[in-house]
Amino acid sequence: MKKASIIVIALNEEKNIAKCLESIKKLDYPKKLIEIILVDSGSTDRTVEIAKKYGTHIIKSQKGFAIPRNDGIKEAKNEIIVFTDADCIVEKNWLSELMKTLDKYPVVGGPTKPPKTNAFGYCVSVMGYPAGGIRRALTNSEETTELSTCNLAFKKEVIKKIGFFNETFKFGVEDTEFIRRVNAKYKMYFNSKAIVYHKPRDNLIDFIKWWFRRGKADVSLHKMFMKSYPFSLLSPKHSILLKSIAVIIILAGLNFVSQLFFLIAFAILILFILTKISLMQKSLDKVKKILPLNEIYYWTLLPFLEYLKGIIRELGRIYFFFLKK
């Protein structure tokens, strides 16, 4: 059996870190073959204090995502690098399953399921966040082009060939860019039995903060991969924000009679959207069978969050593009 270094990056995770490390300690993999590294990005709460109780090797790093990940890799003594997040809980056989797959593939990962949460959190998971959410958790084991760092393992030789995480990505999606480079060199595998439970954003404030940050991160990603950058950041064809503003301007500029006709037309549009949502429901049949979520949320909260996500993400892009912070 091979040795593995499990790396967890953390910033003010005192509410989650104990459960995460406790689950790692309960893995059915030989303890002497596991090194646990906590990369602390400047926590001001009890994160480090709690982690010390679990015999974790702790190192200090900068705020962000790519730099802490790279620092963890550099500190790792073993040839197998494994990542999960501080707000994750791993299944007992998680590492064993990843290691089995690493015999054939140099880069492997697995699904993320939501732990017990509220209706808001379940809807976020249905949307596919984080790491593909509950829909991806229903995927069978297969070769893949998409994996996430909350459930990822790879051989150190991968770093030697494609390089470390891109440290210019300060607000996230560093894993997306990293996986794109991996895809150019290697085949990756999704092991459906290597399960991690990832806490979703389960309230409106955290949801908005997360998507605003993701919007800021998009700027770096578009700059690197989109030929139409910076126009790709707010494409009129796909922009929910621009379409929403157009509707408000048109409505405000019309007289009463015109407004009435506009509202009727808008009501017809809403009916059309609801029809599309009803078709989408069929694709969620498997999800509905395993999630304790009332049907009404699939018709109300879920589409609302999809709309809000687009707006907040675009605002994040605009904010970072012009202010660079």
CATH number at residue 146: 3.90.550.10
Q: Is the same domain home to 214 and 115?
A: no
Contact 200/117 with Cβ under 8 angstroms? yes
Q: Is the same domain home to 49 and 139?
A: yes
Tally of CA atoms within 13 A in the half-sphere of 299 that contains its CB: 9
Q: Is the same domain home to 176 and 30?
A: yes
Q: Is the same domain home to 171 and 212?
A: no
Name the pTM for this structure: 0.88
Is it true that the peptide bond before 130 is cis, omega within 30 degrees of 0?
yes
Tell me which residue range forms the domain holding 225. 204-323
Instruction: Supply the pLDDT for residue 158.
Output: 96
Which of 181, 198, 215 is a domain's end point? 198
Q: What is the pLDDT of residues 192-204, one digit of tens each?
A: 999 999 999 999 9
Q: Is the same domain home to 218 and 138?
A: no
- Tell me which residue of 5, 85, 10 sits closest to 47, measured CA to CA: 10
SS3 29: coil
Residues 77 and 3: their CA atoms lie apart, in Å, by 9
Which of 180, 198, 216 is a domain's end point? 198
- Tell me which residue of 180, 139, 115 sits closest to 287, measured CA to CA: 139
Q: Is the same domain home to 58 and 102?
A: yes
Low-confidence ranges of the chain (pLDDT < 50): none
Q: Is the same domain home to 174 and 250?
A: no
Instruction: Supply the pLDDT for residue 142.
Output: 93
Q: Is the same domain home to 136 and 215?
A: no
Q: Is the same domain home to 61 and 121?
A: yes
Instruction: Supply the pLDDT for residue 109.
Output: 97
Q: Is the same domain home to 102 and 192?
A: yes
Domain tally, the chain: 2
Instruction: Supply the pLDDT for residue 324.
Output: 81
Q: What residues contact 189, with CB distance under 8 A and at least 6 apart?
A: 101, 104, 105, 107, 108, 109, 141, 142, 143, 144
Which of 198, 224, 248 is a domain's end point? 198
Instruction: Supply the pLDDT for residue 248.
Output: 73
Q: Is the same domain home to 154 and 280?
A: no
Instruction: Supply the pLDDT for residue 251.
Output: 65
Q: What residues contact 144, with CB distance under 8 A and at least 6 apart?
A: 109, 188, 189, 190
Residues 112 and 132: their CA atoms lie apart, in Å, by 7
Which tokens hold the place of 91?
A: 């299944």
Beta strand 80-85 with 151-155 is antiparallel
Instruction: Supply the pLDDT for residue 100.
Output: 94
Contact 2/34 with Cβ under 8 angstroms? no
Instruction: Supply the pLDDT for residue 124.
Output: 95
Residues 318 and 162: their CA atoms lie apart, in Å, by 31
Q: Is the same domain home to 153 and 249?
A: no
